A = this chain, B = another copy of it.
Amino acid sequence: MIADKMKSFVAGSSAIRAMFEEGKKMAAIYGAENVYDFSLGNPSLEPPAAVKEAVLKVLEETSPNELHGYPSNGGFEDVRLAIAQQQNRLHGTNYNEENIIMTVGAAAGLNIILKAILNPGDEVIVFAPFFGEYASYVANYDGVLVTVSPDIQTFQPNMDELEQKITKNTKALIINTPNNPTGVIYSEETLKTLSEILTKKEKEIGHPIYLISDEPYRELFYGDFKIPFVPDFYPNTIIAYSFSKSLSLPGERIGYVTIHSEADGFEELVSAMTVANRISGFVNAPTLWQKVVPYVMDTHVDVSVYKKNRDDLYAILQELGYPCVLGDGAFYLFPQSLIPDDKAFCNAAKEFRLLIVPGSSFGCPGHFRMAYCVDNATIHNAKESLKLLKEKYSK
């Protein structure tokens, strides 16, 4: 009854989501406090108080027909301009509303970017480990996902392999920094090298390689440094952003795409993505949330809470002997599984009511992902289960 392509999608349906559904069932059986659910990046922090205030404000002050009616497919001009001006303030760019398209979250953003640029057979490169949904998004437009193998010592991009894997069919590279699932952040040096490779290869192959920067974790970093602004290093950059994590609003599906002014074919890209927003069925980002954005775009959740979670979880993993790279951002750690078969390992973890996601879901077997956007108590309560899991494989 269903499409052939969908059969494999349904069969290989997101392990993360399956775990999320299983977690809800286990919580009903054992009580939520006895299930240590690190499966989904569902923020534990409440949205900042400013969010509710802004919702109430726009409900009071905006005419209902404007607030809830159809905007342009790219979004309200005033909202897009406000974001453009914020970017100009932060990054010294020269954006206006044309550079910004409001989207149904970053997932929609990535989809309209890929729909706009991919011909069937075009290659999109990702660095393993990567957010598994990229594979679906690229397949949606009959693109070919090309993976660069992980450097499991650092989870920084493997530049030599990147260079080898760029072909005349390469249309784009997706990066995600701070990274899901590793938490690692790319330094300025890394972005500089990346840009040099892409610029050189663009000349060789004779057409643009778009750098798609997926940035839902842009504000979530733990340390006294700045996250580099990708277009500063490479002009052919398109950013997909979401307020899901910075404002703890993942269910509301509100984000935007930034098309850098110096990107090749800027006007054509903007038109194509705006049309893609409409014909893909998104039509436009939810309007109430669009109108809320200008009031809350400069605020974010208290990241010190996530930092403490990360520090506590990392200390426990170290103490118990789980090898793990310490990432400085997002809300994930990506330790090694204690047996090569990470799926079996994550299945075994369920015995101890511990929900963790196999690295295979991110193109990086032999690891598992823990989303630490949970109550701090969950991390400490999970220690015993992590210990028992370790002991199971230490006989």
Q: A275 to B119, alpha carbons, bound, how many Å?
A: 23
Interface residues of A in 74-89 (CB under 8 A from B): none
- A6 pairs with B47, CB closer than 8 A: no
Q: Which of B69, B73, B118 contacts A43 (CB 8 A)?
A: B69
- B116 pairs with A2, CB closer than 8 A: yes
B-facing mask of A237-262, CB < 8 A → 1, else 0? Answer: 00000000000111111000000000
- A253 pairs with B42, CB closer than 8 A: no
Identify the closest chain B residue to A105 (Cβ). B283
A108 to chain B, nearest CB (A): 4
Identify the closest chain B residue to A107 (Cβ). B281
Q: Does A34 contact B (CB under 8 A)?
A: no
Classify chain A: how many residues form its interface, as a range. 35 or more
- A287 pairs with B6, CB closer than 8 A: no
Q: A72 to B109, alpha carbons, bound, how many Å?
A: 20
Report chain B residues within 8 Å CB of A285.
253
Among A5, A110, A248, A269, max chain B CB count under 10 A is at A5
Main secondary structure of the interface of A (DSSP, over half): helix
Q: Does A333 contact B (CB under 8 A)?
A: no
- B115 pairs with A3, CB closer than 8 A: yes
Q: Does A193 contact B (CB under 8 A)?
A: no
Q: Does A70 contact B (CB under 8 A)?
A: yes
Q: Which of B70, B118, B140, B279 contacts A137 (CB 8 A)?
A: B279
Report chain B residues within 8 Å CB of A90.
none
Q: Which of B9, B21, B42, B275 contacts A6 (CB 8 A)?
A: B275
- A281 pairs with B70, CB closer than 8 A: no
Decide yes or no: A6 and B283 within 8 Å by CB, A1-B268, A21-B72, A252-B288 being known contacts. no
Q: A248 to B43, alpha carbons, bound, how many Å?
A: 31
Report chain B residues within 8 Å CB of A111.
280-281
- A136 pairs with B253, CB closer than 8 A: no
Interface residues of A in 268-298 (CB under 8 A from B): 268-269, 271-272, 275-276, 278-290
Stretch at the interface among A12-20, A123-131, A220-228, A344-352: A12-20
Stretch at the interface among A59-67, A306-314, A323-331, A361-369: A59-67
Q: Does A357 contact B (CB under 8 A)?
A: no
Among A40, A104, A107, A118, max chain B CB count under 10 A is at A104
Report chain B residues within 8 Å CB of A281.
104-105, 107-112, 137, 140, 280, 282
- B1 pairs with A208, CB closer than 8 A: yes
Since A56-B56, A104-B104 are in contact, a sample of 6 more A-B pairs with Cβ atoms closer than 8 Å, ordered by chain A residue number, is: A2-B117, A3-B272, A46-B65, A52-B64, A140-B279, A253-B285
